[in-house]
Chains A and B, each alone.
Chain A
């Protein structure tokens, strides 16, 4: 007997309402009626702000005292409830439609992880329970985003862990790999991987095949349709991975391995959210002190887990963009940061200053003067900007490609604040108000409306 297992993962919007769950459940039933053996993976019900969404659970703790950080272990136990609720409700929905179904927590589904709470990696999966469920003719409904960690595998139970970003997609791919599934299908609320955000380019086509590298780079640069972790597992185990729309009959996008690259030059245009760009001027610092100053900047950013975009590093200055949501942290820890160097008569004190000086920084500078010479390391702030990127393959290295992009933006009178590029992409930093127009112009410039 051929066991055509298909793993069907439903994201937040596909399980958010009774109507959405019914549509998703009908897709599962339709697969079963076609002779496939569906294994369902679900995310938590709904997105930010909804009653059972992850952030809503976290707020339950913050409401007690926002100044006390929850323990990572306890937090995992709490946020995993979203998927548990979702799996039970989805399984029950299937039952009401006449199909036997069984909900599984990650651990019950045999998913074992390392012991990193909040960002665990899957170590192994024993899918025995899932196969048994299928053999009984029932549909397994697995909680995405979670697993179990046990230092001593001989002990019963184990610690519940969550998988971090892209957790439910990762669960789906890993379960698919462990069960040697015929396919893994990630259901979401868009038709697949598009060449651009449809809010910016209404006519942006859906790509029919995308390589793992393309998906990973697109995600890195701001547009996450399927998480690269999931794509990587599917690629390594040679499991076909699809992104499909729960609410349409579009065939979706297949994620393929590098050797099946369709050969196009440019894949798409992405844009990040709101950014603040900081450029630190190190020219006033003694050559011997620059490394210490830069090290302080990056060490602080690492310590506070700040995401950096658009790196702009040179011997004279250093700069990067940070998400606007993280800027208050950056301002808190860097503005007024004091770096003393030397001793005795050679004592010198550097003070970081982000943008215009605040009264606090001015007071600090005055007080520090008694310790020795005080020099400011100023950072020019550019608020209200965003990064727009063109993703491609080797074509990005062809002569004139960057020129073509910059000419298109110049003709559209878009002010480019900075540029950045890598082997697979080129990025421009533009005013946030111009984000959509920039995407549209670059989409047109590289003929992406015709890409398939």
Chain B
């Protein structure tokens, strides 16, 4: 049916024009968040759940915000802004908490709209990261993105790889 031939007695022409809708499938773009430090709290005594809370309380009391909190067999690990590295080191030392700090971390954010609706996509992106030889410190997901924590230069390299993929 030719749009022009339609009776538009009470509707404007713009109301019957065709429209484009949904976003493209799969990865749409990639972003890098730099300047982070991965903190590993290690060798906590029993009861582990209580000791983890004590460690996190020390971090919160120092006013340090954390991301990517993960329970590990003997403690927790998390990510903090690099400018808080010295502060966390002092804080954990004062609380007598064994720790390891991995500086120079970045997050690669890989955007793909409604990621859970595309079956297997999260696994597919993780496979792509691993096949690129990236050692993943941590990973997480949101409705429109996967977040990969890795050493800064590896993260940068992966971002470039994904950008090349997108450009085709």
A residues bordering B, Cβ < 8 Å? 1, 3, 119, 121-128, 131-132, 135, 164-166, 170, 174, 177-180, 213, 216-217, 219-220, 228-229, 232-233, 237, 291, 294-295, 298-308, 311-315, 397-400, 402-403, 406-407, 410, 415-426
CB closest chain-B residue, reference A127: B16
A421 and B18 contact, Cβ closer than 8 Å, known pairs A3-B10, A298-B123, A311-B141: no
Interface residues of B in 74-120 (CB under 8 A from A): 77, 113-120
A135 and B10 contact, Cβ closer than 8 Å, known pairs A174-B21, A302-B120, A422-B142: yes
Choose among B50, B52, B114, B137 the residue that contacts A315 (Cβ–Cβ < 8 A).
B137
**Is there an interface contact between A418 and B114, defined as CB atoms closer than 8 Å?**
no
Contact flags (1/0) for B62-79 with A, using CB distance below 8 Å?
A: 111111111110000100
Residues of the A chain whose Cβ atoms lie less than 8 Å from the Cβ of B131: 291, 295
Choose among B53, B63, B141 the residue that contacts A406 (Cβ–Cβ < 8 A).
B53
Residues of the A chain whose Cβ atoms lie less than 8 Å from the Cβ of B147: 422-423
Residues of the B chain whose Cβ atoms lie less than 8 Å from the Cβ of A422: 140-142, 147
Instruction: Please list the 3 inter-chain residue pairs (A to B) with the smallest Cβ-Cβ separation, ordered nearest first.
Output: A305-B119, A400-B60, A301-B123
- Closest Cβ of chain B: how far from A233's Cβ, in Å? 6
Any chain A CB within 8 A of the CB of B122?
yes
Choose among B20, B23, B64, B144 the residue that contacts A399 (Cβ–Cβ < 8 A).
B64
Q: A313-B126, A314-B72, A419-B71 are in contact. List 16 more A-B contacts (CB 8 A).
A: A125-B18, A131-B16, A135-B9, A216-B143, A232-B113, A233-B22, A291-B131, A291-B133, A308-B123, A312-B70, A314-B136, A315-B136, A402-B56, A416-B71, A421-B140, A425-B142
CB closest chain-A residue, reference B121: A302
Any chain A CB within 8 A of the CB of B166?
no
Residues of the B chain whose Cβ atoms lie less than 8 Å from the Cβ of A407: 53
Choose among B7, B130, B144 the residue that contacts A294 (Cβ–Cβ < 8 A).
B130
**Is there an interface contact between B70 and A419, defined as CB atoms closer than 8 Å?**
yes
**Is there an interface contact between B49 and A128, defined as CB atoms closer than 8 Å?**
no
Choose among A128, A295, A399, A410 the residue that contacts B130 (Cβ–Cβ < 8 A).
A295
Q: Bound state CA distance, A433 and B143, in angstroms?
A: 26
**Is there an interface contact between B16 and A128, defined as CB atoms closer than 8 Å?**
yes
**Is there an interface contact between A180 and B50, defined as CB atoms closer than 8 Å?**
no
Residues of the A chain whose Cβ atoms lie less than 8 Å from the Cβ of B29: none
**Is there an interface contact between A313 and B21, defined as CB atoms closer than 8 Å?**
no
Question: What secondary structure prevails in chain B residues at the interface with A?
Answer: mixed
**Is there an interface contact between A128 and B6, defined as CB atoms closer than 8 Å?**
yes
- Closest Cβ of chain A: how far from B30's Cβ, in Å? 15
**Is there an interface contact between A421 and B7, defined as CB atoms closer than 8 Å?**
no
- Closest Cβ of chain B: how far from A262's Cβ, in Å? 19
Question: What secondary structure prevails in chain A residues at the interface with B?
Answer: mixed
- Closest Cβ of chain A: how far from B42's Cβ, in Å? 13
Choose among B1, B7, B11, B114 the residue that contacts A228 (Cβ–Cβ < 8 A).
B114
Residues of the A chain whose Cβ atoms lie less than 8 Å from the Cβ of B18: 124-126, 178
Residues of the B chain whose Cβ atoms lie less than 8 Å from the Cβ of A403: 53, 56-57, 59-60
- Closest Cβ of chain A: how far from B84's Cβ, in Å? 10
**Is there an interface contact between B56 and A406, defined as CB atoms closer than 8 Å?**
yes
Choose among B21, B52, B56, B120 the residue that contacts A123 (Cβ–Cβ < 8 A).
B21
CB closest chain-B residue, reference A216: B143
Any chain A CB within 8 A of the CB of B153?
no
Residues of the A chain whose Cβ atoms lie less than 8 Å from the Cβ of B68: 421
- Closest Cβ of chain B: how far from A328's Cβ, in Å? 16
Residues of the A chain whose Cβ atoms lie less than 8 Å from the Cβ of B8: 131
**Is there an interface contact between B122 and A308, defined as CB atoms closer than 8 Å?**
yes
**Is there an interface contact between A124 and B141, defined as CB atoms closer than 8 Å?**
no
Residues of the A chain whose Cβ atoms lie less than 8 Å from the Cβ of B72: 314
- Closest Cβ of chain A: how far from B106's Cβ, in Å? 15
**Is there an interface contact between B21 and A124, defined as CB atoms closer than 8 Å?**
yes
A164 and B117 contact, Cβ closer than 8 Å, known pairs A131-B11, A232-B23, A308-B123: yes
Q: Bound state CA distance, A219 and B116, in angstroms?
A: 9
Interface pairs (8), CB distance under 8 Å: A124-B19, A220-B115, A220-B142, A298-B127, A311-B126, A397-B65, A402-B69, A419-B71
